[in-house]
Structure 1
């Protein structure tokens, strides 16, 4: 059964969230929902997540899953907020403990912060099947951008997370802790081994000035036209390109708050003894 797909683009973070469902009055999965965050004031809002919720309520859908393709470094997840409002199980790749261990140390998180992925309801293994109502689906490990990246396949559609972008934008960076450009290349080639007509849905778009934001491509289009990893680009060539390019990139604007929330499946850090929740900012550690 082909999935119904509704996309929601957040221009503040260039993020695309999705509602994937079998039929009206049926079941759905939410992929990579955004919690709005103002870094100047530290305030969160739920306008982006509320758009997803309104659509789900209009279609009278039951939420089965809330998926993260990885622990994002560029936006805060609304997974916990939507779970409280709509139900469903939160899920991410089973290598998330490796990411949690790195960032527990970096941010000196509270002693009780578990690094076993237990903040999520389910940890997917590579190739693990699952269902969303009448839809059959599969998790596909896609490490490289981070160790725990996971893509999700529904029939002829794959939600690729931060691996591939639109052909004229290229591929994700691989210089975050645990990132690996060789792994990223191999993950991308695994995705591009699917049939040519397979639809690929991006988690982000950073469009050139001469086109609007887009987020759907195909295996054929990526193999022919992706500026970083089209057919004929070798692993060593990709590694050299990605390493040189990553050395020029600044840290994402929302890196520090987003990681602290996203490794917790969207739950806020525990309040301190004054009742206030804080995100930490390590000084002279991140970046170059």
Structure 2
């Protein structure tokens, strides 16, 4: 996937499903995304990741971790996450996104699925291929992908068996589940602030505005952004404006000046400077490169 759409709360809008089932399996080459990395987002589905080539740095909520070739990662439902390749390794990974309600039957869901989705100490689980349970999950991901691609008779039944196997292997670790209300509130406030930024990024924006959206003081707001996004609130706004401008510059009838004002800059020269520092190319050069690549494809 080279790009995907999110709503103002950063919830991914991609419909993760086959024609009949709430499941999707696909490969992602990180540096081919329009932003050069996988930007911050979340989704209701649980996600299993397997690194096929290279090495990636994932951030899930506040934590960052490296995942290497052959290793995997489980990302829980509703958790903010992003990914970038490490050391220009050309990282490619396989993603398996599954609706939680498709993991097990309704009768087993409340006992063996729901408690794990709600636990605040399980935003992610590193899947170590050296462990038996980890290798089982990694191997089963390949089987799931093969079943979806081949669509042999009764493959839907094969998928349910394979997913049950993956989920059981995750649970046999014997995780101690915790439910910390402060963690739940923290996640909600972060999403509220991000939602506000994404709705109003084209307007004049002050730190007070962002803090108010999360019902926080200015200093607490800054601590949230530093802890979860490794940046300041206003730097995040700047980066988000640049991300939006990247998409607008790909439109054939847009101009650099129009895009600058559309994403909230009140000076074209300031926009050009910030874009160049972020993307290592000027907006006009980026626009010309996009037009040239489209022409070659056609």
> TM-score under structure 1 normalisation?
0.26
When Rg is computed on C-alpha atoms for both structures, the one with the higher figure is: 2
More helix, by proportion: 2
